[in-house]
Structure 1
Amino acid sequence: MTQSADAIPSAMSARVRAPFLIWGLLALIQLALISIPLVDRLQVQMTGEAVQLEIVPVDPRDLLRGDYVVINLAIANVSKDIPGSDTLRSGDVVFVGLSAEGGGPAGPVILAKAREEAGPLAISGTVLSVSDDSLRIDYGIDAFFLPEGEGRIIERLDRKRVLLEVSIAGDGRSLPLALLVDGKTFRSDSIF
């Protein structure tokens, strides 16, 4: 069996294109993996409800990352008087139902292991520790980055003047949107 003269160049060009095709597919897979957290963040920001939370700013400088405010949310320490707290243990995933009364910062009103039981607005977290009178909960929001020099400004402010605006998606995921001082945006961290 003999090959025609036209078939030989086409077989050679297919062998030459194969490595480029493989590298191109690998590049597309890497781009897809990089975009997954960005898409998740965008989804929370676009579909979530904006809520203001009280914070305690601490330690605003990191030599490698620049200025930032360590986010210590006031709702990270939840009283055992809140309904649903008696069934929670360290390591449990919890949904903290929030309510903002009088236009002020949101506060916890119920704790639940299932999202549906936590009410219309709930942020998810993990119970870090349980004591006799309170629970310590981590929400995965631990820092808010600022341009160089602005961390010290926040550090000097009275903590009652500083709030964190957070977007909370329907499933409880959250991300910081803006740092507020006296109810006005001091710095925004949102994508749009």
Structure 2
Amino acid sequence: MSVTSNADAPGTVSGARSVFRLPFLRWGLVALLQLGLIAIPLADRLQVQMTGTVVPLELIPVDPRDLLRGDYVIINLAIGQVPANLPGGETVEAGDQVFVGLTRDGDKPAEPAVLAKAREQAGSLAISGTVLSKSEEEIRIDYGIDAFFLPEGEGRIIERLETARVLLEVSIAEDGRSLPVTLLVDGKAFRSDSIF
């Protein structure tokens, strides 16, 4: 004669607990998945900021307003337009993913030195971008850095400054990914977009 326990039978207290645990487990997994999806871009940004090389770049700011987020400066990097005769420029076409090798001279803004389709051909410091257009004179490149958000009212200050007084420090990772870090005015930090 075998004796069976009713402890795990459906309808018992123990069986009811396992049924109730399943929905909580599902919702917990959904919550973890959502948190993971939120954390991925933040982790990518943190990696670029922590491992990247910070270089100043020239820009031409324009000041629109975003009613939901305050002021922001549209970033038009000077290296967004490189000479068509830059070494490697003859090999690229509109739509190509490229790496722009940069040279630095002290605290002066970094300058484009070479264009390459492969990261290893662009030198020790290179920023990645996409070729927007190519003419006989210049190649226009988008680096994905198009805005720098500021507290409300500060965008007007930047708009009134001479372009030569404003620089943007950008962190560039080894693989060419980049993000804006600090807006500089007269060589001093005006506003930081750093995670820390």
Same fold (TM over 0.5): yes
1:176 paired residue number: 180
Q: Could you tell me which of 32, 49, 52 is aligned with 1:48?
A: 52
Residue type at the aligned position of 1:25: L
Whether the 8 Å CA contact 1:60–1:155 is kept in 2: the answer is no
Deviation at 1:119, TM superposition (A): 0.2
Q: Which deviates the most, 102-111 or 126-135?
A: 102-111
Tell me how far apart the structure 2 counterparts of residues 43 and 141 of structure 1 sit (CA, whole Å).
Answer: 17
2:91 aligned residue: 87
* CA distance in structure 1 between the partners assigned to 2:79 and 2:134 by the alignment: 14
For residues 34-90 of structure 1, the C-alpha deviation after alignment (integer angstroms, 9 at most, x for no partner) is 100000000000000000000000123222321000000000000012100001000
What runs of 5+ residues in structure 1 fail to find an aligned partner? none
Note if contact 2:74-2:147 (Cα within 8 Å) is conserved in structure 1.
Answer: yes
Alignment of 1:152 onto 2:156: yes
For 1:24, the equivalent position in structure 2 comes to: 28
| Residue matched to 2:81 | 77
Please state how far the C-alpha of 1:16 moved relative to its aligned partner.
1.3
The equivalent position to 1:100 in structure 2, one of 93, 101, 104, is 104
2:61 matched residue in structure 1: 57
Q: In structure 2, what is the Cα distance between the partners aligned to 1:101 and 1:66?
A: 35
Residue segments in structure 2 that go unaligned for 5+ positions in a row: none
Q: For the Cα contact (< 8 Å) 2:56–2:107, is it kept in 1?
A: no
Match among 111, 131, 134 for residue 130 of structure 1 = 134
Q: CA RMSD in A?
A: 1.2
Highest Rg: 1 or 2? Answer: 2
With structure 1 as the length reference, what TM-score do the two structures score? 0.96
- Structure 2: how far apart are the matches of 1:6 and 1:59? 69
SS, match of residue 50 in structure 1? strand
Where has structure 1 moved over 3 Å in runs of 4 or more?
A: none
Does the Cα contact within 8 Å between 1:125 and 1:140 map onto a contact in 2?
yes
Q: Identity over the aligned pairs, expressed in percent? A: 68
Q: How big is the shift at 1:100?
A: 1.5
Code of the aligned partner of 1:139:
Y
Distance (whole Å) between structure 2 residues aligned to residue 159 and residue 10 of structure 1? 72
Match of 2:115 among 105, 111, 115: 111
Structure 2 Cα separation of the partners of residues 84 and 125 of structure 1: 14
Question: Which residue pairs with 2:143 in the alignment?
Answer: 139
| Alpha-carbon offset, residue 3 of structure 1 | 4.3
With the length of structure 2 as denominator, give the TM-score of the two structures. Answer: 0.95
